[in-house]
A and B are shown apart, each in its own frame.
Chain A
Amino acid sequence: MKTTQNSSGDVRLTGIGKTYGSFTAVHPLDLTVPEGSFFALLGASGCGKTTTLRMIAGLEEPSQGTVSLGDQDVTHLPPYKRPVNTVFQSYALFPHLDIFENVAFGLRRRGLKSVKKQVDEMLDLVQLGEQARKKPHQLSGGQQQRVAVARALINHPKVLLLDEPLGALDLKLRRQMQLELKRIQTEVGITFIHVTHDQEEAMTMADTVAVMNGGRVEQLGSPADLYENPKTTFVANFLGTSNLIEAEVDSRSGEEIVLKAGDGKLVLPEARCAAPAAAGGRVLVGIRPEKITLTHADDAGQIPVGRNRITGKIAATSFIGVSTQYVIDSSVCPEFEVYVQNVERDARLVPGADVVLHWSPAHTFGLDAAQDIDAGVEEGAAL
């Protein structure tokens, strides 16, 4: 998927797949995680992201394909021989050992005698120096989470695997830990592979995100790239919200595709269309809610020429401080979502008002109309 130089610390998955009987958890996939990057595997539960992670850790034997760390093929190595450590979902701290011994566990297993200095340093890094002699159950969720990170990081693994590490924390603590983990990763420079179902978490933390769905990688790229240029309806709906309109290709002029949606025309830059768009064919036109400007129908004349526009009626509004979210009932899309920053509020924009939605054609993206238009909506909304 991503080609990088064959550097010594990359994680390379080649044709790796996992089947349980007749169920395919992970379809054969190729993935390269560059050394020192913060990589996220993002997807809803059951999409195969955790299985992929466990195959890298050695906790799951792949049905096919190979796992390499740098130049070393580790596919058939047991977990205790891999230079990889995992931060488990719900931490899996050893309940019978205190924090110090939990963190020292990996060092001791590798035969190190004097571990005190290293453990103390690591506990300081995660700000738990005071808690060294407590048992895991005496710590709060956030503290346990930091112990789990420290216990893995102290071994200086080539790769740190994080399996939904923040899933058990409340929202505020999760945000805090996201920044904390990002800070630690920058500080130690180890490759992090982070599995999560929280798209916001993946986007804030990772350099590269692989969106997985149904045991396949749907799309891989930087968070901004995935958000701006989704290639499938799943990615468009799972990452944030997208308004998708079914349209027919009318004509092509140079770099632009002109589409017919309902009575109106929409313009889509050819470069942003992920589907073949022959004249007469069908395409899904996508636009993010925050890219849209809302104008009352009375002022329609003031809208600059050259913008894509759609007419509709406001069905509902919700004021959320920073912005107002509108749901627009339009003939081409029943629930068109629009987010407007609360800078200058137009008092006429209330439910029932006729409005014109318009946006710059440059913000429009096109997707293959053969897919399920609602793919990823449920999974994305549930978060």
Chain B
Amino acid sequence: MSTLTEAEAPPPTAPVPTAKPARRRGRWTPYLLLAPGLIWLVVFFAMPMVYQASTSVQTGSLEEGYRVTWHVATYWDALSEYYPQFLRSVLYAGTATFLCLLLGYPLAYLIAFRAGRWRNLILILVIAPFFTSFLIRTLAWKTILADGGPVVGALNSLHVLDVTSWLGLTAGDRVLATPLAVVCGLTYNFLPFMILPLYTSLERIDGRLHEAAGDLYATPLTTFRKVTFPLSMPGVVSGTLLTFIPASGDYVNAELLGSTNTQMIGNVIQSQFLRILDYPTAAALSFILMAAILIMVTVYIRRSGTEDLV
């Protein structure tokens, strides 16, 4: 009623109300646009999270069914039993992330600054592995690293395996079913997730900044240290996160390329859920992993000080 009178006879002293209907219609547009994404997140992210959280504090057995009893001790039990796998996950994922950075940075640099007309081709080659399934690619590594295969043979004759065995990364003449194989698999599988963000942030760097640094007496190496690398930090951070987070939860590489001695936390969660059917432990492990990653990522982002790097 009140809006009706307002619309019919806008008082001459206040012309503002006439603009109101249009604004009112526009006010819901952002929410309408948000709705599909929000609904998706609620159904496929928030609800499973709540469900998992409740599972993690349930007790019971498969035969009798599980019931919420707020048994928080599951968390502590899970952590104390599986902390070696947690540590191994962090170690393997961390090593793989570091190797990805080491391998990916020069390639991303090359694509961004030196590739010229080859740029798109190399980028396609970087993405090309995604055209086949993750599983197939990992299985292929099983063949590559097979006992007595050319790779193992070459490494053996170069005495590389002696060194890696001594370091505990491989076992005797074998590469397969060793930590080295798992880390290699992780590095290979997550390399594109490192290269692409690195490339994006390197590519955004204004070439004139390199010229300006050179003009101001910086050698090419200093230019890299003082200008290029700091400016590529957003890419380094997002690349390492995109590599480390999925790698630390991964179980396929450890499953296919590793052995029982190289089990990562992902393998434990997977077997708890699907083989042992101890849902509360599996859910608790998932939450511990998530919390651990969240804490590590927060500390990392704080430390690398990228918040003010736009």
B213 in contact (CB, < 8 A)? yes
A319 in contact (CB, < 8 A)? no
Supposing A92-B206, A92-B208 touch, asked if A79 and B309 sit within 8 A by C-beta, the answer is: no
A95 in contact (CB, < 8 A)? yes
B292 in contact (CB, < 8 A)? no
Residue of A nearest to B209 (CB): A92
Supposing A90-B208, A94-B209 touch, asked if A80 and B215 sit within 8 A by C-beta, the answer is: yes
Q: How many residues of B contact A (CB 8 A)?
A: 21
A2 in contact (CB, < 8 A)? no
Supposing A92-B209, A96-B309 touch, asked if A57 and B215 sit within 8 A by C-beta, the answer is: yes
The answer on a CB contact under 8 Å between A109 and B217 is yes
A88 to B310, CA, bound (A): 22
Contact of A79 among B206, B211, B222 (CB under 8 A): B211
Return A252 CB to nearest CB of chain B, in Å: 54
Supposing A92-B209, A95-B231 touch, asked if A86 and B215 sit within 8 A by C-beta, the answer is: yes
Return B221 CB to nearest CB of chain A, in Å: 11
Return B88 CB to nearest CB of chain A, in Å: 36
With a cutoff of 8 Å between Cβ atoms, the chain A residues found around residue B212 in the complex are 86, 88, 92-94
B122 in contact (CB, < 8 A)? no
The answer on a CB contact under 8 Å between A59 and B216 is no
With a cutoff of 8 Å between Cβ atoms, the chain A residues found around residue B218 in the complex are 80, 105, 109
Contact of A151 among B208, B216, B226, B308 (CB under 8 A): B216
- Give B190-234 interface residues, CB cut-off 8 Å to A: 206, 208-209, 211-219, 222, 226-227, 230-231, 233
A208 in contact (CB, < 8 A)? no
Max chain B C-beta neighbours (<10 A), residue from A57, A85, A95, A151 = A95
The answer on a CB contact under 8 Å between A85 and B215 is yes
Return B306 CB to nearest CB of chain A, in Å: 10
With a cutoff of 8 Å between Cβ atoms, the chain A residues found around residue B308 in the complex are 135
With a cutoff of 8 Å between Cβ atoms, the chain A residues found around residue B211 in the complex are 59, 79, 86, 88, 92
- Give A273-331 interface residues, CB cut-off 8 Å to B: none
Supposing A92-B208, A109-B222 touch, asked if A79 and B231 sit within 8 A by C-beta, the answer is: no
The answer on a CB contact under 8 Å between A80 and B217 is yes
With a cutoff of 8 Å between Cβ atoms, the chain A residues found around residue B226 in the complex are 105
A110 in contact (CB, < 8 A)? yes
Contact of B217 among A57, A59, A96, A155 (CB under 8 A): A155
A257 to B184, CA, bound (A): 88
Residue of B nearest to A135 (CB): B308
The A-B contact count (CB < 8 A) is: 66
A106 to B226, CA, bound (A): 12
With a cutoff of 8 Å between Cβ atoms, the chain B residues found around residue A80 in the complex are 214-219
Query: A219-246 CB contact bits vs B (8 Å, 1 = yes)?
Result: 0000000000000000000000000000
- Give B220-264 interface residues, CB cut-off 8 Å to A: 222, 226-227, 230-231, 233
Query: A69-88 CB contact bits vs B (8 Å, 1 = yes)?
Result: 00000000011110011101
Residue of B nearest to A154 (CB): B216
Max chain B C-beta neighbours (<10 A), residue from A57, A89, A90, A92 = A92
- Give A200-231 interface residues, CB cut-off 8 Å to B: none
A151 to B212, CA, bound (A): 10
Residue of A nearest to B309 (CB): A96
- Give B256-280 interface residues, CB cut-off 8 Å to A: none
With a cutoff of 8 Å between Cβ atoms, the chain A residues found around residue B217 in the complex are 80-81, 106, 109-110, 155
The answer on a CB contact under 8 Å between A155 and B216 is yes
With a cutoff of 8 Å between Cβ atoms, the chain A residues found around residue B206 in the complex are 92
- Give A42-62 interface residues, CB cut-off 8 Å to B: 57-59
Return A140 CB to nearest CB of chain B, in Å: 18
With a cutoff of 8 Å between Cβ atoms, the chain B residues found around residue A85 in the complex are 215-216
Max chain B C-beta neighbours (<10 A), residue from A57, A80, A152 = A80
Residue of A nearest to B216 (CB): A106
The answer on a CB contact under 8 Å between B214 and A88 is no
Residue of A nearest to B206 (CB): A92
Contact of B215 among A59, A90, A93 (CB under 8 A): A59
With a cutoff of 8 Å between Cβ atoms, the chain B residues found around residue A88 in the complex are 208, 211-212, 215
A94 to B227, CA, bound (A): 7
With a cutoff of 8 Å between Cβ atoms, the chain A residues found around residue B310 in the complex are 95, 137
The answer on a CB contact under 8 Å between A96 and B230 is yes
Query: B64-89 CB contact bits vs A (8 Å, 1 = yes)?
Result: 00000000000000000000000000
With a cutoff of 8 Å between Cβ atoms, the chain A residues found around residue B213 in the complex are 94, 105
With a cutoff of 8 Å between Cβ atoms, the chain B residues found around residue A105 in the complex are 213, 216, 218, 226
Return A157 CB to nearest CB of chain B, in Å: 9
With a cutoff of 8 Å between Cβ atoms, the chain B residues found around residue A57 in the complex are 215
Return B294 CB to nearest CB of chain A, in Å: 27
Show 20 residue pairs from A and B whose CB-CB distance is below 8 angstroms, ordered by the A residue. A79-B211, A80-B216, A80-B217, A81-B217, A86-B215, A88-B208, A92-B208, A92-B209, A94-B213, A94-B231, A95-B209, A95-B310, A96-B230, A96-B231, A96-B309, A105-B216, A105-B226, A137-B310, A152-B216, A155-B216
| 3 cross-chain pairs, A with B, having the tightest CB-CB distances, nearest first | A106-B216, A92-B208, A109-B217
Known: A78-B214, A88-B212, A94-B212. 10 other contacts (CB 8 A): A80-B218, A94-B209, A94-B231, A95-B310, A96-B231, A105-B216, A106-B216, A109-B222, A137-B310, A151-B216
